[in-house]
Structure 1
């Protein structure tokens, strides 16, 4: 028996959240990672990229990652939109590091001039959106 390739249509934030739920499953995560999904013409490409051991997003990471996103858009996947999920062990409550990662991803994509979908948080059995309006209260706190 062969498995069908998972190719959802992603047109809304709810579609994206559903795709992340299916891809991440109910399992726990051993450390903080950032997952990247590339979406072209409302369909995700059939490969995720994981950035492991994702501590704090420093200036070097921001500059280099912005360059990578621009190259992907310009040279590899035209009409691409980027979707990110920050995963970590623990509960689904938003923490200051979760907010800092989401804020960094929104800033990096804005500075690179590439489209960014709503960033999501993945924890054991939970996927939740981190929209930009949830970042301000704690974005700079420890």
Structure 2
């Protein structure tokens, strides 16, 4: 993945999410430069393959309990009622080494909406949560 930051457009004016590279590109544009003061969760509401709205949840726990991840289930259910799907990105300060919290977020969010792969970001990288990350 390139370090170039794509131009920021309103989500509904971004290119369709035709493939994994397009979703990576969209997250990179929405986040801007990597570097985070606190753990945060980003939710991209998607209509078919078109991004529609982004929700940023600041100051989430870095090591969530199951009920904290499960709170996102309500959002996913409401999105589905409106014909939307949810793409997730968990971001936190620090280096690239995967933490237990990264994996808890990735596994929990992946179980909520499997249409889009969960992404993980830290101060050094943005990447998709790999199958090895999601395996219990």
The runs of 5 or more residues in structure 1 that have no matched partner are: none
**What is the TM-score normalised by the length of structure 1?**
0.76
Cα-Cα RMSD: 2.1
The runs of 5 or more residues in structure 2 that have no matched partner are: 1-7
Contact kept, 8 Å, 2:34 with 2:125, in 1: the verdict is no
Question: 1:31-88 CA distances to partner (integer Å, 9 max, x unpaired)?
Answer: 111100011121101x3111222113324334432122112211xx31x221111111
Contact kept, 8 Å, 2:76 with 2:85, in 1: the verdict is no
Measured at CA, do residues 15 and 4 of structure 1 come closer, stay the same or move farther in structure 2, by a change above 3 Å? Answer: closer
* Bigger Cα Rg: 1
Shift of 1:130: 0.5
Shift of 1:102: 0.3
Contact kept, 8 Å, 2:69 with 2:105, in 1: the verdict is no
Q: Given the alignment, which residue of 47, 52, 61 partners 2:58? A: 52
**What is the TM-score normalised by the length of structure 2?**
0.79
Q: Given the alignment, which residue of 9, 18, 29 partners 1:11? A: 18
Contact kept, 8 Å, 2:45 with 2:86, in 1: the verdict is yes
How far apart, CA to CA, are the structure 1 residues paired with 2:69 and 2:102? 16
